Every structure is written in C-alpha cells, then in structure tokens.
C-alpha cells in the first residue's frame, strides 16, 4: 500500500454508509474508543429508556410489569433479536445468566447427549473463563468428563472417538485470529463430537451463520460488540434439532414447563425456554434490548466490510509510521483471517497502553505484551484510526523505550 | 380484640417512626400495594440514580468505569451491606447470579464438604425453584446426591447420618409460617449435616441473625423485601469457617484468585470471592445497591415489630369484617410464628385476587386457593390494612361466590 494520508481517512468517512450510526451512541468528544471488544459504548437512547423504565414501568406498575410491560418474555424476545445477528432462528436463542454459566449448562448437556464419550476439548488460548468453567465441569463430574487443552492449530487432530464436545471461540481474544467456523464444525461433527462456539468476540462484530454451518450450541456475552452495558446478560443458542432432547443441570423455575403451577416436580419447558434457570435481571435485559435494537437497521455484511477495512488501515498505517519502534503485528495481516480487532506486541506493551489511555486512546493490554485495539464499526470513524496511530507514534517516539528497539523480526509486518 | 376502628389505624400511622420512609418510595397514589414479598416497590431515588449511571458512568467512562466507578468491587460491596441485615460479617456475603444458581453452587459444595453423605433434604412446600435446582443437583450427580422432600413438621426426624445438607426457607412462601432458625440449624449440625437457608422471604422483612445461630450457608434474592428491582441479582452467604475449604462447581473468571493474569489454570480467590462466576450485571447491581442503602438508617427490630402488628391487625380486621364469607386464615395467628405476610384460603381465591387487583389492591394468588398479602413496613401505612380489608369485604359481599359459603370450619380464625 502506498503512503496513506489523513485526507484518505476523511474521504472514507464521507462515503461510509454506517457513519450516521455514530450519532446513536454516547461517546465523549475527548476520547478515541478502541475498547468496544471489552465493553461497548452506550447507545444514546439509553438514558431516556432507563428513565422510562423507572418512571413508567417499575415505578408505576411494580409487580404488574411482569405482564403489562412484557418483562416475562424478555429472555425469548431479546434472544430472537440476537438470533437474527448470528444466522439462527428466532426460537434457537435465549438470553440468560452469564456466558460462564451458559457454558456450564451446555457442556453438561453435551456429555448427556454423548454418554459414551468423556472428552471436552478447547484451546489453551481461549478466553480463560471458558477454561475455568470447563475445569469446573470436569471437577463436578470427574468420572464423566475430562478436559483437554490444545494449541489452536492442533484442534482438528485432537478430536477423537472419545470427544464429546469441542469448545472454541471463532476469534482469538488476544491475536484476533479467526477459525474457519464451517470447516471446524463439520470436522467435529464428522468425528461424532458436539460443537460449542463462544461468540462473545463475534456477535455484532462480524458475520456469523450458525444455521449455515449447522452449529450445535453457542453462547455469547451482551456487553462487548452488542453494547448491552457492563456485565449485560448473556445468551445461548441450541440448534432446533437438539431442543427436545437436551437436558441441562441448572433446572430453575424459569425453565419449567409451567412455573406458576409451582408443582414440586421439575418438568422442562418446550424448546429453548428449558435453558433458563432463575429470574432474569429485567433492567439489565432492558439495556441489552435497547442496544440490540440498534442493529435492526444494520447489515452485518457492511459492518464486517468496514471492520476489515479499518483493521487493514490500522496495520498499514502502523507499518508506515511506527515500524522503527519495535512494534510487532500479532494479528493476522489478512483481513479474512482476522476478527474485529488489531493486536500488536511490544516488550513495553503495558506502559504503552497506559500512555495511550493517558492520552485518551482507550485500548487495552493483555499479558504478557499485547496492545489490543478493538474495532467497532457502528460508532468508530475511519479517522479514529488515523488519530490513534498518530498518538501511538508520538508516544513511541518520545518515551524512553524507543532506546531499546526489539529485534528486526519484530517490526510491524 | 375488641372492635377496631379506622381511627385506630390513623393513630398508629401518626406514631409510626418508620412512616417517613414511605416518602423514599415511588408508589402510585391509586394503589394499595401488598405484593412487596413478590416484587418490592421502587425507591424514589432510582430514576436519578439510573440517569447518573447512564450519563456519568457508562456513557462517560465506558470501560474505565470498572475501576473509576467502583463497578469491579460491587459484588463484595453490596454483599457487605446485605450482610448487615442478616447478622453476617461483611466478608461473609457476596452478590452474584440468581438464587437458583447460588443454591446449585452451595448444594454441590456441601456434598464436597460431606463426602461420606449423599442426602439433601428439603420441604415439599419450599419455593419450587429450590426443589427444581436440588433435583438438578441430583440429576447431575446421581451417584453422589439424593433429594428427599418431607413435610415441614417432619424435618427434624428426617435428618439422619446420610444427610449432607438441609435446605429450608425460614418463611413458608404460601402460609407465612416461620421455622425456628436457631433450633433447626443446631439440630442439623448436631446430626452432622450442613444447613442452607433461603432468605428470599426473610431478608429485609424480619430479623435474621446468621452469626448468632451459627449458620453454614444462605442465599436470597434481591427483588422482594430488598426492593432491588425485577430480577435483581441474588446473594449468598458462606460462614467464615467454611471459606477456605469450600469449592464450588461454577468456577468462572470472577472467582479466580487473579482474573487478569488470564492463566489457563483455575485458582480460587481467597474468601467469599471464590463463589463468583461470570461478569455481574452492573446496572442491576446498581439498582440493588441504591435500594439496600435505604436500609442503612433502619432498625430491623422496628421493621419486624411493625410487620407483626400490621399482620395481627389484618387478621383481626378480617375476622371482624369478613368472617361470614368463607375466608380461612392460612397463616399462623401468632405473630412470632409468622413471616411478613398474611395468607387466607378461599375456594374462589383466584377470582378474589383478580377482583382485588381490579380495585387496585395489589396482592397475589398462589395455587390452589391462597390469597396472599405481603407486608412491607418500609413503605406501607397501617391504614393500607384498613383500606384493603374494606375492599376485600366489599368484594366478598357483592360478588356471586357469597352464595356458596364454605364449611363452618373455614371461617377466619
């Protein structure tokens, strides 16, 4: 790529069909926000929505709100909206609990569906809570479950006739590297295993087609690219073909076929509703719904195109401007292999992130040396990339660590 | 009790030291709210708190709010506030997940702590989700757990040398009948079992002294007497003496000793923090904290006194005014044996509750024939009792079911 100019970024913003969406978000003027892959920015309508919730719903209706305000059906209703973003049918997704709790439910369900198999496989670089929960599953059921962690490139070889479940994130949260979801799902199923995708770093960020790839199970959080607010409720997906068979361990009253009969025997509800457990936090789900509604006018293909282009430009610009300062590209250079983030490595990564944040470029550090920039096309401008790289370059050029360049191989590539 | 007059209720309100608290709640003028045992009324400060949360916290700080706004420590901080209402030390309570999920965690933890025992005992009339979750535990661990349900008056006899855990609610959610928490706890422990109390119908309603009775475990919800909002997060209690030993199955990253090290091995945090699992819904916890803060100026002894008196008056007034209409008292008449509710039985209970709600007396029906009035001294007036019984009497006197009186034994007693 030839020399890139600021004018080029300005031109891209002018042509960007997603640009008007930025106005739908509350973003402080002073910051460049590259951390929507950790916590999404707040949709601007949230303040009014919360005021309405307090004054007109909870404050006026109190307990009647469960019926009059549609609180009761929120897990199904918001789930259906999320389903449309991940290529699932409306009745295949439900909002419930946290990602961690939902992984637990589905992992034990998978062991029940594959009683002759005991192995659960994941990668050692998946988001750690996925590992911890799967360790919890094997601690709960030492005779029925065994967790095996492998490197990402060993995953296919690791699936054997003992494998009940494969748990993967399509996006490596550190590097941004993408799995080929269709190919891995097909391979897992060919070998008789179930496939569980953790979409926390995918849903709302790039195109996902669970029906198209014939996925079994999926989970994901509501607070990253979905912008549902800190700790927003999570969701889970169960393919229609498993819904009548599936049983899950956390059998609470909201998953009961008839909760208000208050019968002393648990009877699972029909369909995806049986995956619920306790009473859902209505206000947190209200925020998530408000945020997900912003996606209704959005074409995820357009989001993915803008994300890839912003990532490509970030990489090219970093190569152009801070090649000499020992910053190594960690993410795949090819956008088709990269999720909605760009990660670099630098020995002083932690200090660099602190310096960036001090200059209002909000990004994050991941141990031991990763500087991570999330890309969120709904509310970021192309110019944000230009400005962020300019500040990164300025920091690298003025701070003390420029005296210790890394090895030649660690230049931005 | 001699004939009670409306003037007597007015007088009680004038003398009520808790009366000013009513102004701290948003209660529509038109209704008489007797359902705070299902969903508490909204604290009036909530609208402003939510606006501040949106505009100043999430909207301005975005991801930085985890540190700058104290979101990260909310489970511990709000837990400590709830601890003060149930006689626990600040570091013995943490806010997390739902009541159902927390029961699952603690039930499996109890089985681990009592490896030579497999029986879990509860009552057949406990709130059904408790039963469903315990059925989930025994389904998950068929070789290690067996659920036994008994009648409330059989509970002590049922505890044997095979009993790992006893799960009870101090308050029967239908009848309002109270267990003697101290006596039952002592008996369970004497027989070598662990004791788990579900405080959902107790915390914020009557005095609970977990330290005083030497309790092992407890759970409870945030949306009934605590007024934390629909589906507010739940809490759990683990006595200090168990905290270094306890292990729980839902090992998510927030329970890790060092979540941001992102190590691939789960290592439980010190103390109560290891009971956490996934990321908590910050906005729902913000509402709960705002609500719990209203209790800081309140003496729970005063709350209990007012609750008992309101219940006694409800019963006496119903006896005085609607004895002839086939309404039977289901709750204990003696206030020391009754939680913060009064329940009646009537063959047409469902229709009566619908008629009451239509006349803006918000109470609820519990199958098959229970008309349930929750008592919430923080925001109810004594006069509310007078007015509710007057409307109940009017309904009974005019509707068609007065033609079918129940048997003589079903009069209000």
Q: Summarize pLDDT for A215-246 with one digit per residue, the tens.
A: 999 999 999 999 999 999 999 999 999 999 99
Rg over alpha carbons for chain B, rounded to the nearest Å, is 22
A230/B97 Cβ within 8 A? no
To test the contact with chain B by mutation, choose from A60, A278, A372, A384 the residue with the greatest count of B C-beta atoms within 10 A, namely A278
What does B202-215 look like in DSSP terms, one character per residue? TTTTS---HHHHT-
Q: Between chain A and chain B, how many beta carbons pairs sit less than 8 Å apart? A: 265
- Restricting to B residues 208-227, those with a Cβ less than 8 Å away from any Cβ of A are 221, 223
Contact state of A39 with B33 under an 8 Å Cβ cutoff? no
| CATH 3.40.640.10 domain residues, chain A | 49-297
The CATH-assigned architecture of domain B49-297 is 3-Layer(aba) Sandwich (3.40)
Question: Which residues of chain A have a CB within 8 Å of the CB of B55?
Answer: 26, 47
Q: Is the pLDDT of residue B405 over 70?
A: no
Using a pLDDT cut of 70, give the percent of chain A over it: 96
Q: Nearest CA to CA, how far is B3 from chain A (Å)?
A: 33
With CA atoms as reference, report the closest residue to A367 among A128, A150, A147: A128
Mean of pLDDT values over B139-153: 96
Q: Is cis: bond before A368, omega within 30 of 0?
A: yes
Which is more confident, A401 or B335? Answer: B335
Q: Is the pLDDT of residue B167 over 50?
A: yes
Contact criterion met (CB < 8 Å) for A54 and B66: no
Of all residues in chain B, what percent carry a pLDDT higher than 90?
92
* Radius of gyration, alpha carbons of chain A: 22
Residue numbers of B between 4 and 33 with CB closer than 8 Å to A = 26, 28, 31, 33
Q: Distance (Å, rounded) from C-alpha B330 to C-alpha B274?
A: 41
pLDDT band, very low/low/confident/very high, at A401 (cuts 50, 70, 90): low
Q: In which residue ranges of chain A is CATH 3.90.1150.10 found?
A: 6-30+299-410
**CATH for A6-30+299-410, options being 3.40.980.10, 3.90.1150.10, 3.20.10.10, 3.40.50.2300:** 3.90.1150.10
Q: pTM for this one?
A: 0.95
CB contact under 8 A, B262 and A366: yes
Decide if A2 contacts A319 (C-beta within 8 A): no
- The tokens for A277 are 């457990």
What is the per-residue pLDDT across B194-224, written as a single tens digit (0 to 9) for each?
999 999 999 999 999 999 999 999 999 999 9
Q: Which residue of A has its CA nearest to B129?
A: A253
Asked if A189 and A214 count as a contact pair (C-beta separation under 8 A), the reply is yes
Chain A interface includes B278 (CB < 8 A): yes
Instruction: For residue B253, give every residue at least 6 positions away whose Cβ sits within 8 Å of its Cβ, in sequence order, or none.
Output: A100, A127, A128, A129, A132, B259, B278, B279
As a whole number, mean pLDDT of residues B110-135 equals 97
| C-alpha distances out from residue A409 to A322, A332, A393, A404, Å | 14, 15, 19, 14
**B226 CB contacts (<8 Å, ≥6 apart)?**
B40, B82, B203, B204, B220, B232, B288, B291, B292, B295
Residue B76 has pLDDT above 60, yes or no: yes
Half-sphere exposure of B190 (CA within 13 A, CB side): 9
B127 is catalytic: yes
Provide ipTM, 2 decimals. 0.95
What is the model's pLDDT at position B400? 66
Q: Does B364 touch chain A (CB under 8 A)?
A: yes
- Closest partner CB to A133 (pick from B50, B128, B251): B251
Task: Compute the distance between CA of residue B185 and CA of residue B195 in angstroms, rounded to an integer.
Answer: 6
């Amino acid at each position: 790529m030839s020399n890139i100019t600021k004018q080029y970024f300005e031109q891209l913003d002018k042509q960007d069909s997603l640009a008007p969406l930025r106005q739908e978000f509350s973003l402080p003027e002073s910051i460049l926000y590259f951390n929507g892959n950790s916590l999404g920015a707040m949709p601007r309508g949230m303040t009014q929505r919360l005021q309405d919730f307090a004054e007109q719903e909870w404050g006026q209706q109190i307990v009647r709100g469960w019926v009059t305000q549609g609180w009761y059906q929120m897990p199904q209703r918001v789930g259906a909206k999320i389903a449309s973003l991940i290529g699932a049918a409306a009745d295949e997704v439900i909002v419930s609990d946290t990602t961690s709790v939902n992984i637990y439910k589905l992992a034990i369900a998978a062991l029940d569906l594959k009683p002759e198999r005991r192995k659960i496989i994941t990668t050692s670089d998946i988001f750690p809570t996925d590992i911890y929960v799967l360790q919890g599953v094997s601690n709960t059921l030492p005779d029925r479950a065994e967790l095996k962690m492998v490197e990402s490139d060993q995953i296919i070889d690791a699936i054997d006739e003992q494998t009940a479940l494969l748990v993967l994130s399509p996006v490596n949260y550190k590097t941004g590297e993408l799995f080929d979801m269709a190919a891995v799902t097909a391979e897992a199923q060919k070998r008789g295993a179930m496939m569980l995708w953790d979409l926390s770093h995918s849903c709302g960020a790039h195109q996902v087609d669970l029906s198209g790839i014939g996925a079994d199970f999926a989970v994901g959080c509501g607070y990253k690219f979905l912008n549902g607010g800190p700790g927003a409720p999570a969701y889970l997906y169960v393919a229609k073909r498993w819904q009548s068979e599936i049983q899950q361990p956390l059998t609470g009253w909201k998953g009961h076929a008839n909760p208000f009969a208050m019968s002393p025997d648990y009877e699972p509800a029909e369909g995806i509703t049986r995956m619920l457990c306790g009473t859902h936090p209505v206000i947190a789900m209200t925020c998530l719904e408000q945020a997900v509604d912003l996606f209704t006018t959005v074409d995820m293909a357009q989001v993915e195109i803008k994300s890839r282009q912003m990532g490509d430009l970030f990489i090219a610009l970093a190569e152009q401007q801070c090649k000499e300062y020992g910053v190594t590209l960690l993410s795949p250079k090819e956008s088709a292999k990269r999720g909605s983030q760009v990660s670099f490595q630098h020995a002083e990564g932690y200090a660099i992130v602190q310096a960036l944040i001090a200059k209002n470029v909000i990004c994050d550090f991941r141990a031991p040396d990763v500087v991570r920039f999330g890309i969120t096309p709904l509310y970021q401008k192309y110019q944000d990339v230009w400005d962020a790289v300019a500040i990164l370059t300025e920091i690298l050029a003025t701070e003390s660590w420029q005296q210790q360049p890394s090895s030649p191989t660690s230049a931005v590539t």
